[in-house]
Amino acid sequence: MVTLEEIKEYLKSYDGPEINIMEVCGSHTAAIAKNGIPGILSPWIHLLSGPGCPVCVTPSSYVDKLLELAMEPGNVIVTFGDLLRVPGSTPVNLSQIKGKGARVEMVYSPLDMVPLAKNEPDKTFIFAAVGFETTTPAYALLIDTLIRDQIQNVKLLTALKTMPEVIDHLCANGAPIDAFLAPGHVSVITGYECFEPIARQYRIPFGVAGFKGQELLAAIYGIVKLVGQGRVVNFYPSVVSRQGNAAAQKLIDQYFERADVAWRGLGVVKGSGKLLKDEYSRFDAGSRGLVEDHKANRACCCDKVLMGKMKPTECPLFGKVCTPMTPQGACMVSTEGSCFTWLTNHRTQ
Ligand code: SF4
């Protein structure tokens, strides 16, 4: 049994070939910064932040559609807070049009909109449903509730993404990655089995990691030792299993189907999202076909940052034109965005 001190010592004094490790989960990016992990690692081990912050990968066309719906009389946009300041294809965001007459409500759970919709049956409530496998069951539960309670005035504008397909896309398109920290929350739902074919195909190790400092260090230590081997190792067995949560998967499959969807900075990735099935299209606010992605600021390098091809600090706008108060791209908006966490934690490597 290796102790935490031995793990730290190994990772600090490592002097083998350079290793790029990508954490594909926004919560991991935030936890890595909060625990000061880059400062513990040898200069030969690099941590890269991937496309795992849901707000950061939501394409500009989605934000444009949300803004358009918000300006239609009778519509109420309901959203989590992070999405309020994300720019679309222009610098305009939801927060700004809220001041121009649009009605935008913030909630903490999709089910919070049920009483809102019941109280105002003459309005149409549109939920900005962004997220990964972790949040999709909550949207499925919302649809379940709408059907059961015969609520007619709620729709979803979806931008739901799935992790294995985008990781496969990164590997197939030259992202310089030697190992992945697999997303802990997503793996609770999907199980870690879904990463095994990718690990084998590209001979890249995956370590499913928790969110505490010692859990992250144990996973990093494990995958550094496995570089070059196509294996998935579960370092978060208290909540993650190989098969995942079957009940949540069944609920998702009842209402949603796999689809090709657009990612900010990456374009359309085959089979990497979920859309409502045709028989539930009455709950859809126009999510199909949102494939365009234009930058509000053309100098923004979010695409390269999300691919692991550039560190946030290498973007010419980082910390100058682009700050959390003046975000030029989605990666600076969310508290889980790589540019946001690098800037607010003074991270340089
Ligand atoms: Fe885009 Fe700002 Fe990040 Fe640069 S620092 S990549 S402009 S979000």
| Domains of the chain, first to last | 4-46+164-228 (3.40.50.11750), 60-162+244-283 (3.40.50.11740), 302-345 (no CATH)
276 Cβ contact partners less than 8 Å away, ≥ 6 residues apart: 143, 156, 158, 255, 256, 257, 283, 284, 287
For residue 329, which atom of ligand 1 is closest to its CA?
8
Tell me what pLDDT residue 270 has. Answer: 94
Angle CA(191)–CA(241)–CA(266) in degrees, nearest 5? Answer: 25
pLDDT in tens, 71-91: 999 999 999 877 888 888 887
What residues form DSSP beta bridges with 284? 156
58 Cβ contact partners less than 8 Å away, ≥ 6 residues apart: 83, 86, 130, 159, 264, 330
Tell me what pLDDT residue 178 has. Answer: 97
Under DSSP, is residue 257 helix (H, G, I), strand (E, B) or coil? strand
Mean pLDDT of 18-37: 91
Find the 23 Cα to ligand 1 centroid distance in Å: 18
First-to-last alpha carbon distance for the chain, in angstroms, is 29
The 10 Å Cβ neighbour count of residue 26 is 29
For residue 304, which atom of ligand 1 is closest to its CA?
6
Find the 218 Cα to ligand 1 centroid distance in Å: 30
d(CA 217, CA 151): 47
Q: Of all residues in the chain, what percent carry a pLDDT higher than 70?
A: 98
pLDDT in tens, 191-247: 999 999 999 999 999 999 999 999 999 999 999 999 999 999 999 999 999 999 999
Find the 313 Cα to ligand 1 centroid distance in Å: 9
Instruction: Please report which confidence band the pLDDT of residue 308 belongs to, taking 50, 70 and 90 as the band edges.
Output: confident
- Flag whether pLDDT at 292 surpasses 80: no
Query: Which residues surround ligand 1 with Cβ inside 6 Å?
Result: 300-302, 305, 312, 315, 317-318, 322, 328-329, 331-332, 339
28 Cβ contact partners less than 8 Å away, ≥ 6 residues apart: 52, 181, 183, 184, 209, 211, 216
Tell me what pLDDT residue 296 has. Answer: 64
Beta strands 267-276 and 154-161, pairing class? antiparallel
Find the 301 Cα to ligand 1 centroid distance in Å: 6
Lowest mean pLDDT segment, chosen from 109-123, 129-143, 319-333: 319-333
- Flag whether pLDDT at 307 surpasses 90: no
DSSP annotation of 329: S
Mean of the per-residue pLDDT values of the chain: 92
| H/E run at residue 143 | helix 136-148
Instruction: Please report which confidence band the pLDDT of residue 135 belongs to, taking 50, 70 and 90 as the band edges.
Output: very high
